[in-house]
Chains A and B, each alone.
Chain A
Amino acid sequence: MSQIHLELTKVGIEFPTPKGPFCALQNVDLKIKKGEFVSLIGHSGCGKSTVLNIVAGLYKATTGGVVLNGREVNEPGPERAVVFQNHSLLPWLTAYENVELGVKRVFKGKKTKAEMREWIEHNLELVHMTHAIHKRPDELSGGMKQRVGIARALAMEPQVLLMDEPFGALDALTRAHLQDSLMEIQNELGNTVIMITHDVDEAVLLSDRIVMMTNGPAATVGEILDVTLERPRNRLELADNAEYNHYRSAVLRFLYEKQKKVESIGAKRAEKQLDKDAPAKAKSVA
Chain B
Amino acid sequence: MSSKLATLKFEQLKAIKWRDVVLAILMPSVGVLAFILLWHTAAPNINTSLGDFPQPKQVYEQWGNLVDEYKTEQARAATFYERQEKRNAELLANDPQAKIDERSFNGRPTFFDKIKTSLVTVLSGFFVASIIAIPLGILIGLSQPLYSAFNPLIQLFKPVSPLAWLPLVTIVVSAVYVSDSPMFSKSYIISLLTVSLCSLWPTMINTAVGVAGVSKDLINVSRVLRLGWFTHVIKIVLPSAIPMMFTGLRISLGIAWMVLIAAEMLSQNPGLGKFVWDEFQNGSSDSLSRICLAILVIGLIGFLLDRIILLLQTYVNWDKSAVVR
A residues sitting closer than 8 Å to B (CB atoms) are 56-58, 75-78, 80-82, 84, 86, 88, 90-93, 101-102, 105, 136, 138, 156
Range for the number of chain B residues in contact with chain A: 10 to 19
* Inter-subunit contact B218/A105 (CB<8 Å): no
A88 touches B227 (CB 8 A): no
Contact status A90-B223, CB under 8 Å: no
What 14 additional pairs, Cβ within 8 angstroms, besides A77-B224, A90-B236? Answer: A57-B223, A76-B226, A81-B224, A82-B221, A84-B221, A88-B215, A90-B218, A90-B239, A91-B319, A92-B239, A101-B235, A136-B318, A138-B321, A156-B225
The answer to whether A58 and B235 have CB atoms under 8 Å apart is no
Expressed in whole angstroms, the minimum distance between the Cβ of B317 and any Cβ of chain A is 9
Contacts of B226 in A (CB 8 A): 75-78, 105
Determine the chain A residues whose CB is within 8 A of the CB of B221 once the complex forms: 82, 84, 88, 90
How far apart are the CA atoms of A91 and B215 in the complex, in Å? 11
Give the residues in chain B near A76, CB-CB below 8 Å. Answer: 220, 223-224, 226
Q: Which 9 A-B pairs have the closest CB atoms?
A: A92-B318, A88-B217, A92-B239, A76-B223, A76-B224, A105-B225, A88-B221, A82-B224, A102-B225
Give min CB distance, A164 to chain B, whole Å.
Answer: 10
Chain B, residues 208-252, CB within 8 Å of chain A (1/0): the string is: 000000010110110111110001000110010000000000000
Q: A91-B318, A92-B318, A105-B227 are in contact. Are A82 and B220 (CB under 8 A)?
A: yes
Central interface residue in B220, B221, B231, B318, by most chain A CB within 10 Å: B221
> How far apart are the CA atoms of A133 and B263 in the complex, in Å?
53
| B217 pairs with A78, CB closer than 8 A | no
Nearest-neighbour CB distance to chain B for A277, whole angstroms, equals: 28
A-B interface pairs (CB < 8 A), number: 54
A78 to B220, CA, bound (A): 12
Assembled-state Cα–Cα distance A88/B216 (Å): 10
Q: What residues of A have a CB within 8 angstroms of the CB of B231 in the complex?
A: 105
Contact B225 A88 (CB under 8 A): no
Q: Decide if B217 touches A56 in the complex (CB within 8 Å).
A: no
Cβ–Cβ < 8 Å partners of A57 in chain B:
223-224
Chain A residues near B236 (CB-CB < 8 A): 90
B247-277 vs A, CB cutoff 8 Å, 1 = contact: the mask equals: 0000000000000000000000000000000
Give CA–CA (A56, B225) in the complex, Å. Answer: 11
Chain B residue nearest in CB terms to A86? B217
Chain B's closest residue to A98 (CB) is B221
Q: Are A80 and B224 in contact, with the CB atoms below 8 A?
A: yes
Q: CA–CA, A58 to B223, complex, Å?
A: 8
A156 to B231, CA, bound (A): 17
Q: Would you list which residues of chain B between 191 and 219 have a CB under 8 Å from chain A? A: 215, 217-218
| B239 and A56 contact, CB distance less than 8 A | no
Q: How far is the CB of A38 from chain B (nearest CB, A)?
A: 19
A120 to chain B minimum Cβ distance, whole angstroms, is 14
Assembly CA distance A203 to B81 (angstroms): 88
Nearest CB of chain B from residue A61's CB, rounded to whole Å: 16
Q: Which chain B residues in 83-109 approach chain A with CB under 8 Å?
A: none
A121 shortest CB reach to chain B, Å: 19
B105 to chain A, nearest CB (A): 51
| Cα of A105 to Cα of B239 in the assembled complex, Å | 19
Residue in B218, B224, B239, B319 whose Cβ sees the most chain A Cβ within 10 Å: B224
**Distance in angstroms between the alpha carbons of A211 and B227 in the assembled complex:** 32
Complex: how many Å from CA A91 to CA B221?
A: 13
In the complex, what's the smallest C-beta–C-beta distance from A108 to chain B, in angstroms? 11
A81's closest neighbor in chain B, by CB? B224
Closest to B228 in A: A105
Residues of A within 8 A of B239 (CB): 90, 92
Contact across chains for A90 and B224 when beta carbons are under 8 A apart:
no
List of A residues within 8 angstroms of B224 by Cβ: 56-58, 76-78, 80-82
Could you tell me the distance between the alpha carbons of A210 and B218 in the complex, rounded to whole angstroms?
A: 29
Set of chain B residues within 8 Å of A80, measured between Cβ atoms: 224
Q: Write out the residue numbers on chain B whose beta carbons fall within 8 Å of the beta carbon of A82.
A: 220-221, 224
